[in-house]
Amino acid sequence: MADNNAFLEHLRTELQGLRDAGLFKTERVLSTPQGAVVRTADGREVINLCANNYLGLSSHPAVIDAAHEALRTHGYGLSSVRFICGTQDLHKALESRLARFLGTEDAILYAAAFDANGGLFEPLLGEADAIISDELNHASIIDGIRLCKAQRWRYRHNDMADLERCLQEAAAAGARFKLVFTDGVFSMDGTVAQLDRMRALCDAHGAMLGIDECHATGFMGCTGRGTHEHRGIFGKVDIITGTLGKALGGASGGFTAARRDVVELLRQRSRPYLFSNTVAPPIVGASIAVLDLLEASTALRDKLAVNTHWFREAIVKAGFEIKPGDHPIVPIMVYDAVKAQQLSARVLELGIYAVGFFFPVVPKGQARIRVQMSAVHERAHLERAVAAFSQAGRELGLVQ
């Protein structure tokens, strides 16, 4: 092995730089499944307000049973990519169930939503085309667009006039095909994209509309189909990407749902699909059970909506400022980064696990605690959370 002391020294300097800037991330170790209450490695039990476990399906008995059953009937793994020997009846079933649930013709599975976005643009669009993207889109969308040769436009976050400017400029540049792409829900603010207005703009300018539904599939809209249902344009989105790793069970895996021809070409040319292993059978079997649950009843998304409404009202009544809206992501605004860290540390002492976000994850001076509601939370959990925030907020002089 080459003498790489200089290299390791360089890495240590980089790491120290992150620590000095307060950007070093530490990972809290849990010793329980994901749930309303989790135990940390030091043995403390805390109410969890920071998982993407929106519907509580990460440890739902029917989901775990289905994973066990698929493990028994289809094995642990396929040791193959899909096109060699990695496609089982379960994979085909899940793809058609996802398409039905989302209102598209077909769907294709990926190892992660990061891969679905990473492998989406390059196979479909080329130099003659235009991709128009919200400036706050998820990192995986940004990376996927970077890998594609299409011309790029970025519009100001959620700004429909600026989107229209981009559509006009792309047309003036002679773009053959235009694709507008946005997060359905933006994870830092819980902002819900204005898909109804975006659809109208896309129609007026002959553009396609694509959305990343990672923070929406399973619970947005009155039957949980997603942001397109919530905004009244179900069945009218050209491309939907999403994850199995958040509301839909929380394990891992992603998908792209679209017209049959789009999905067919992705199967032929999308590199993260072609050159990465098939999704494991227990995850696929469990995901089918998740869709069974969600198609049979809206009880979980309804409970999530009730929890979200209750918590948003209660935390405001306690004197905190939140980003308004109705998404289960509730950003409690603190603005000052140090105060945000103190608040999250103090509520943790009081038994509430909620993480602070500050620059560069959010803009300077916009520090916050982002809490996320789940259908596994009972009212008592949420009452304890609000009480802890009130006490910590008073101690830190943030509320009266």
Tell me if residue 31 is catalytic.
Answer: no
Q: Which residues bind ligand PLP (CB under 6 A)?
A: 112-114, 117, 138, 140, 183, 187, 212, 214-215, 243, 245, 254
CA distance 118 to 142: 8
Catalytic residue among 58, 133, 187, 270: 187
Query: Which one, of 266, 228, 226, 229, lies nearest residue 246 by Cα?
Result: 226
Catalytic residue among 60, 228, 246, 327: 246
Name the minimum Å distance from CB 139 to ligand PLP: 8
Q: Is 74 annotated in the active site? A: no
Would you say 82 or 381 has its CB closer to ligand PLP? 82
Let me know if 327 is a catalytic residue. no
The nearer residue to ligand PLP, 55 or 112, going by C-beta atoms, is 112
The rounded distance, in Å, linking the Cα atoms of 399 and 234 is 41
What stretches of the chain adopt beta strand conformation (E)? 37-39, 45-48, 106-110, 130-134, 151-155, 178-183, 185-186, 191-192, 208-212, 239-243, 254-258, 321-322, 329-335, 352-353, 355-357, 367-372
Q: 215, 228, 339, 377: which one is catalytic?
A: 215
Q: How far is the CB of 215 from ligand PLP (least distance, A)?
A: 5
- Provide the CB-side half-sphere exposure for 385 (13 A, CA): 33
Least distance in Å: CB of 185 to ligand PLP?
8
Q: How many CB atoms lie within 10 A of CB 168?
A: 12
Nearest approach, Cβ of 244 to ligand PLP (angstroms)?
7
Nearest approach, Cβ of residue 111 and ligand PLP (Å): 8
Cα-based torsion angle of the residue sequence 310, 312, 316, 321 in order, rounded to the nearest 10 degrees: 170
Which single residue is written with the structure tokens 């976005």?
117
Tokens of residue 139, six digits: 């990192």
Nearer to ligand PLP, 187 or 287 (CB): 187
Residue 243 Cβ vs ligand PLP, minimum distance, rounded to whole Å: 3
DSSP string, 155-203: E-TT-HHHHHHHHHHHHHTT-SSEEEEEESEETTTTEEP-HHHHHHHHH
Question: Do β-strands 130-134 and 178-183 pair in parallel, antiparallel, or remain unpaired?
Answer: parallel
Check the CA dihedral 49-52-53-59 and report its sign.
negative
Closest to ligand PLP by CB, 150 vs 193, is: 193
Packing angle between helix 281-296 and helix 299-317, nearest 10 degrees? 80
C-beta closer to ligand PLP: residue 183 or 229: 183
Of the two residues 108 and 113, which places its CB atom closer to ligand PLP in the complex? 113
Instruction: List, by residue number, the catalytic residues.
Output: 187, 215, 246
